[in-house]
Structure 1
């Protein structure tokens, strides 16, 4: 969190270093797997596509896990304002990253199943570590370190991008004003970054990775489907509006339908986690209306909120973005 709070430039540089460590880890796993495959270890691929054990009620949850692994692409849209030449660089970054990650993940999975059986993969708490213990023996700690750095990179990137959502929501008067402010010297959205921290700690204490993944995936893909559908409607309602880049309508149409279908079927697959997630999502509706109408509330409440905001400004040394910009 302290990287995200201190400097945007340093956060980007650290993120580049951590991304390189992830690519090194993936490359090492792929090389070891291809070496084992070249030696004739292909017995684990016999009947690899046997679907007799596949049940329909688990397919939506499998999609949640699969799409989570490839979901980094939409984080780019969270900090569009901070991207140089966004009209060119955002589509280029998304397309190139999806192609590269798809190829790398495919080769990594081939490497995993060359060395490990399907049961061993499912039983492993960290597949890369189990793979390294089987192939690198006493040097398996190398993969452990690289995997740890990769996880740190994912957390850093998530903090960097998710904080921008609270920052913009506050700027649009949908959150308390304090979260739309930036640090007077570092120019980072410090209050929005700090807000993420207790949420991360809460997720760590939950402990159940797959339950947490299902809990998080329901609102994510629900709103992804709604937003994409809204963009389609917006394009038909205002066809002459300038748009930096376009895609064929069939792509967002299929994407929106897939998101909403998976969300709907996940309520049957895991009613507990998705039900809790749905309830938490709906609990935001009254909060939203309270924030929208906060300027129409009692005078004492508005005065207390203003005083609290001023005290937090002094404590965190933050001001409105316009003051720092101009």
Structure 2
């Protein structure tokens, strides 16, 4: 929100990071050099190459590949086309990831989509992007993956009975609270947890791939016979299969949310993206090959949790471990998503598009606590909504609209700012093809599902009046300004946060 709607400098309270005490407001006199804390209050560069890889892989691989990888099979109709589509979606996602690698190494600010749209097209579309993310997309997405965590962490306890809904929601609430707490307390611990959970995800995939390959080498290839023969085939299903596949690969952009915290970003961002996408693509394709070595297409489409069905057939009592691995996978997606998206809110606040408190950092822990916990009440609220899955469907098009817009911004910046340093530069056809595909998917969703997409479009449009009300309108009542000042100062005192002393250019 605009600076007029936010606390003035005189309304801020400054904390002394060295003594944990409060000092006088900034306008009471210039700060002497001797009073400056020895350690600057900034987000530090703690994201190494390994941590970057864990953020990307750990966020991409959620519950979908273990529970219901049937969207692509449903729309392609054959085993062969399904495997080709999984590969093609991995390559297309790599194109998007490489485009973001160029954006991340040339625009060295955190915030990903928001920052790139802001740089290329200005504040209004950037604000609409962060507005929709804050009020609906991120709380709903976090609630959905958290509910999957609660379901699968409890399933071994309640087998063979169903898990009570109240128990799922209680465990889910605890899981969200733990993730928020860890993200608020330490960047290092958040990154270490993400590395551990990423190895758990990869272990789970290997547990599926190896037995599946053994069955394949034993001659269980009947489900691959006539792999491209379908009873009926619709060309309209191919783009819808791409849509399902791109959703499964979504997450390759999460490292760009934390660009300012990446060590040697010119080298580590492209490397982390390329390594992560190669690992995920190979893992996804081989996992599906393993499924088809054990299950027929009809059985896969009928299964509610493919990995569990697969494990029950091959692993006997050991199959009880699969729900635990799925739960850990969901927990990793929660952790990586909250860690990354909090930086979008942090940067948007720094640009004056969200309340100023969201751009403040804890004086000792150097974490953006307000930007992390702002999602907590909305996410918990979403848990108790009866139809959050439909809400995600309403807004799924918005993700690809803005990602496509951000990559289009790369092409635009090539001509608008040709002298911009670009340590990593991709051939122009890569962002052009990816942006066209994203916008085609959006157009297709408007045609194939006008009702749900229309509702999502209307929710997105609410960002336009919000922009003019909160950002552009600078003649807000004095009582409103005093209230915002008071709330910001109180939050600073409670959370022990201050504005960063410097940020990326």
Q: Does TM-score exceed 0.5, indicating one fold?
A: yes
* Alpha-carbon shift at residue 295 of structure 1 (Å): 4.0
2:424 to 223, 238, 245: 245
1:219–1:281 contact (8 Å) kept in structure 2: yes
1:192 to 371, 374, 382: 371
Confirm whether residue 100 of structure 1 aligns to residue 279 of structure 2. Answer: yes
Per-residue CA deviation, residues 215-250 of structure 1 (Å, 9 max, x unaligned), is 342111100111111221111122122123211110
Equivalent position of 1:299 in the other structure: 478
Q: How many residue pairs are counted as aligned between the two chains?
A: 325
CA change 1:52–1:297 in 2 (3 A) is farther
1:101 & 1:302 partners in 2: Cα distance?
48
Kept in 1: contact 2:361–2:499 (CA 8 A) = yes
Cα offset for 1:174?
0.6
Q: Do the aligned residues in 2 keep the contact of 1:65 with 1:213 (CA within 8 Å)? A: no
* C-alpha distance in 2 between matches for 1:236 and 1:296: 37
- The secondary structure found in structure 2 opposite 1:73 is coil
User: Match of 1:275?
Assistant: 454
Q: TM-score, normalised by structure 2?
A: 0.61
| Kept in 2: contact 1:57–1:268 (CA 8 A) | no
The alpha carbon displacement at 1:33 in A equals 0.3
8 Å contact from structure 1 (residues 7, 188) kept in 2? yes
Q: Is the 8 A contact 2:382 2:388 kept in 1?
A: no
Q: Once superposed, what is the RMSD of the aligned Cα atoms?
A: 2.2
Q: Cα gap change, 1:203/1:56 in structure 2, threshold over 3 Å: closer, same or farther?
A: farther
Match in the other structure for 2:342: 163
Mapped pair 1:319 → 2:494: no
The Cα offsets for residues 278-313 of structure 1, whole Å up to 9 and x where unpaired, read as: 111111111122232354322222121111211222
Q: Tell me if 1:309 matches 2:488.
A: yes
Partner secondary structure for residue 498 of structure 2: strand
- Seen in structure 2, the aligned counterparts of structure 1 residues 138 and 78 have a Cα distance that, compared at 3 Å, is same
- Matched residue SS, 2:354: coil
Whether the aligned pair in 1 keeps the contact of 2:254 and 2:340 (CA below 8 Å) is: yes
Greater alpha carbon shift after TM alignment, 94-103 vs 269-278? 269-278
1:52-89 CA distance string (max 9 Å, x none): 54445544443232112222211110000010000100
Q: TM-score, normalised by structure 1?
A: 0.93
The gaps in structure 2 that reach 5 residues or longer are: 1-179
- Any conservation in 1 of the 2:201–2:325 contact (CA below 8 Å)? yes
Query: Which residues in structure 2 correspond to 1:133-144 (within 5 Å)?
Result: 133-144=312-323
Cα 1:31–1:143 shift into 2, 3 Å: same
Picking from 315, 319, 326, the partner of 1:147 is 326
CA deviation profile, 1:238-286 (whole Å, cap 9, x unmatched): 2122123211110000011000000110122223332222111111111
Gapped regions of structure 1 (runs ≥ 5): none
Describe the shift of the 1:52–1:318 C-alpha distance in structure 2 as closer, same or farther (beyond 3 A): farther
